[in-house]
Amino acid sequence: MAEEEYRKIELIMALRNQGIRDTNVLRALERVPRENFVPPSFVDQAYDDQSLPIECGQTISQPFIVAYMTEKLQVGDRDKVLEIGTGSGYQTAVLAQLCRRVYTMERYRTLRQAAEQRLADMRMVNVTYLTGDGYKGWPQQAPFDRIIVTAAAPDIPDALVDQLKEGGIMVLPLNVQTGELEKPYQQIVRVTKTEYGLEEETLIDVRFVPMVPGVAREM
């Protein structure tokens, strides 16, 4: 067995031990070669359960967080999913294993183009890409069954709520307001859109890069 396969199996077992129970999510992570999504200097750490730096000052999320957020998103095989923050394309690739189509947005053109090439090389054909402002979402393709945001926002963006179907679910990290002497942190929140408004569920503490409006000048 190749070393990557052995380390991948160890990671999947560790995720199960941390409470990830959705077998479809675990299988999706098992099928996606994380070593394809990290810089060459970090390939030996591809299956460590930690976030890693990528280009443009961004990160590839810790595998547990990818699995956790995906599990909480409750993706079905007929769902249309909007992802805000393509990054390396790793979370995109996991989602693409689970749903009908992923629409993924990235404010850095270079990141988007690199992710698009990676997933094309992996023959993932159910992903559509856009360089754009995540706060504005993708109204031309709305509504979406599911929305996932992979950067921390101060509040739930109104445009994303508008683009979520009734009955749809959005999972995103939000900044938590703290006192002057307290260290700021973030929490993952799951939002369900009902006919009466939004139902919000606070989940776990996390650390994500900030969600920044606009398209990046560094392209």
- Active-site residues: which are they? 61
- 119's CB contacts (< 8 A; 6+ apart) are 89, 92, 93, 96, 127
Residue 119, CA distances (Å) to 34, 92, 163, 176 in order = 12, 9, 25, 34
Question: What per-residue string of b and e applies to 54-84 under the rule 16 or more CB within 10 Å gives b?
Answer: bebebbbbbbbbbbbbbbbbbbeeebbbbbb
Distance CA 188, CA 205 (A): 6
Phi, psi (rounded to 5 degrees) for 181 = -95, -5
Give the residue from 141, 170, 146, 139 showing the smallest Cα distance to 156. Answer: 170
One-letter identity of residue 174: L
CB 74 within 8 A of CB 169: yes
